[in-house]
Structure 1
């Protein structure tokens, strides 16, 4: 028997209007949404009557926006649920990896417990999809993968996930290639990589091995690329060649990709065109680092490159900070790039929703539609521009028609 309910008095964005002072204002209206088996099956205007005799949940004029997608995360690294400890300062990435390696064994027994707490933190902020990288290394083998997959299983029906086999301590060492393949047979759904130059010291060999594993398991790819300047640019450019040769268009991503912000604008435009042609996505965590240039996200977007934000790891051996609120990343990006008007703030929500927005660039309503998932984050807000700018804390999360407590 189908499960039917109505959500009454839901505020949705419906369009925009130009004010006399030349600024744009978002228009909204109230709707009643009929939900059946987790899908929207009917939309009524707020002045229309809901049929009697059916369950009704009054949303009290809260604004509905799409649920969030946390697209760069490390569920296995967090210290959440453990005693407090700050980070050990280091001078470079290899030192940080050495400190992480030293504690991997002692942390692995609590992987499920810690990952569960992190998922709860992400979900209560509105993220219903998590792309998590999970360490696959010679120190603990698949232990973190086992803990993370077990944790995610307890959130089935509430959270979907990409689980990336991630060679944090290098792909081209010891038994890691065979461990990566074992991970792909044991619950990982994507293949990861890390700095083919800076960590593996063999750009082409590392990239080809990554693609070999991916094609063997027909899996998508997401590679951490911290290497900056021309080395990073060469790596990205070479990866696009490999993607094209493997016919892997639309199936790969490069995370961080600071190198794209290091190169001159003409080169940025060239690589952006190539990224768009092969549909290689860019994942960014919008880090606060005065010495680090982030990718040229607006330029990439203008060239048709898909860009997504993520929180990365939080409260772990890498950083004591972070809340699990991916919306903060959209807000931070807008602050960094001086987006202060209604339209640019509103459009910036796409960085954390997988590209889904209520209004398109022309200000026309494009979401939600009939047969869309009844999954929302509800805010006491006037528009999604206010949501991005102010990050309201009081949120109600609905997944497939069910409100989460």
Structure 2
């Protein structure tokens, strides 16, 4: 794919302020100046007319599954049974006939992410006895089409369980040696029915191979909270502070306030992060409590148009909207904070420094027609242009 470089984006607004020009060199923002765009300049190479649009930092999708969508294929009707295990079985039964995983299906997903403004991704990629490490290869192939314009980090994800399928632990270890940034886990109690065993195995690999851990934890209430405590203990014991994430973590929002406060303090002390896909039918992770404790969290689209659910558009701003709406957030400061979490504050989830639209920051920039950041969140207007690492990835 050819992605032309941008050298100047003229006449854009940062959070509703007066127009500025953003200067870019080698994928980095080198200057932000008051806009005095001469019409003659706008025609030269690499100079983009921002038309007075609002500029936001690129969106960070901190929890995706780009390897397993039927995007680009005919409509696939929902089938099989509900629940995590039911969906796993249905996916295992049908994925081969749909060519999942493949670089082609992943390319469709990445295109949807990018045109909606995502420039950095942490994606879980299924690793199991049926596909081996093929999914990781497919994702790497699809991501390579964007070069360094799209930041993609991979979690080797045991979607079918860890201990209940002999050989999966060895496969995760192989993936860690082959260069994935994280290994994943899945409901150590609910799926493997052996929380201590699964977590001990994962932390041993992470410690030995120098990778991070990102665990899917759907188990609710006290059962989920117990596993969060086990994760905290092991993060401390293995010296993995700042390298561990809990995805979903519904239990945190379901336990009583005192228990939640204790968990949040312990998570913050070890910089154990959280990611949410803002599920509509469950209580949301509480913004003010997480921020007050200093627990970093990010948003993700989860799977989109896959054998788990037909829903999803690939729009991370839509997930941020869903989180804000479901959380009852209405004040400007809170809406701004939600957009910050969807963008610059979550850059570390994909292995980037938290930068944003500042001199020295990575030139990941999204232009849209909105009055200010709050307006952009509540309306989620179409993206007019998406720039990743200084390269134009999408233009409407």
TM-score (norm 2): 0.90
The Cα shift of 1:392 comes to: 0.4
Deviations 1:320-345 (A, max 9, x none): 01100010111111111222233321
- In structure 1, list runs of 5 or more residues that go unmatched: 14-26, 358-365
Task: Please state how far the C-alpha of 1:353 moved relative to its aligned partner.
Answer: 1.0
From the superposition, tell whether residues 150 and 249 of structure 1 become closer, same or farther in structure 2 (CA, over 3 Å): same
Structure-1 residue corresponding to 2:351? none
In structure 2, C-alpha distance between the alignment counterparts of 1:81 and 1:91, rounded to whole Å:
24
Secondary structure of the residue aligned to 1:29 is: coil
Q: Is 1:272 the equivalent of 2:255?
A: no
The answer to whether the aligner puts 1:32 opposite 2:21 as a matched pair is yes
Distance 1:367 1:211, change over 3 A: closer
Query: Residues of 2 paired with 1:271 and 1:394: CA distance?
Result: 38
For residue 107 of structure 1, report the CA deviation from its aligned partner. 3.9
1:6 aligns with 2:28: no
Seen in structure 2, the aligned counterparts of structure 1 residues 243 and 371 have a Cα distance that, compared at 3 Å, is same
Deviations 1:58-88 (A, max 9, x none): 2111111100011111111101122211211
Highest CA radius of gyration, 1 or 2? 1
Number of equivalent positions: 380
The correspondence of residues 41-80 of structure 1 with structure 2, limited to 5 A, is 41-47=30-36, 55=45, 56-80=47-71
Secondary structure at the aligned position of 1:224 is classed as: strand
Distance 1:345 1:395, change over 3 A: same
Distance in 2 (CA, whole Å) between partners of 1:229 and 1:388 is: 31
Structure 2 gap segments, 5+ residues each: 348-354
Structure 2 equivalent of residue 338 of structure 1? 328
2:173 equivalent in structure 1: 181
* Alignment-derived partner of residue 150 in structure 1: 141
Correspondent of 2:237 among 242, 245, 257: 245
**1:232-270 superposed Cα distances (whole Å, 9 cap, x missing partner):** 101001101100111111111000001111100111111
Superposition RMSD on alpha carbons, in Å?
Answer: 2.2
- Tell whether the 8 Å contact from 1:214 to 1:220 is kept in structure 2 after alignment: yes
Q: What corresponds to 2:105 in structure 1? A: 114
Deviation, structure 1 residue 52: 7.2
Do the aligned partners of 2:6 and 2:48 also contact (CA within 8 Å) in 1?
Answer: no
**C-alpha distance in 2, partners of 1:122/1:4?**
20
CA shift, 1:220, in A, is 0.9
- Deviation per CA, 1:132-175, whole angstroms, max 9, x where unpaired? 11111112212222211211122222211111111111111211
Deviates more, 1:83-92 or 1:323-332: 83-92
Distance in 2 (alpha carbons) for counterparts of 1:256 and 1:339: 20
Instruction: Tell me the residue number matched to 1:235.
Output: 227
Out of 257, 274, 277, which is 1:285 matched to?
277
Which of 1 and 2 has higher RCO (CA within 8 Å, sep 6+)?
Answer: 2
Residue 125 of structure 1 contacts residue 395 of structure 1 at CA under 8 Å; is this kept in 2? no
- In the TM superposition, 1:2-401 aligns within 5 A as 5-13=7-15, 28-47=17-36, 55=45, 56-108=47-99, 111-172=102-163, 173-289=165-281, 292-355=282-345, 368-401=357-390
The Cα offsets for residues 187-231 of structure 1, whole Å up to 9 and x where unpaired, read as 422110000000111111111101111112100110000011111
Report the CA distance between 1:11 and its aligned residue: 0.9
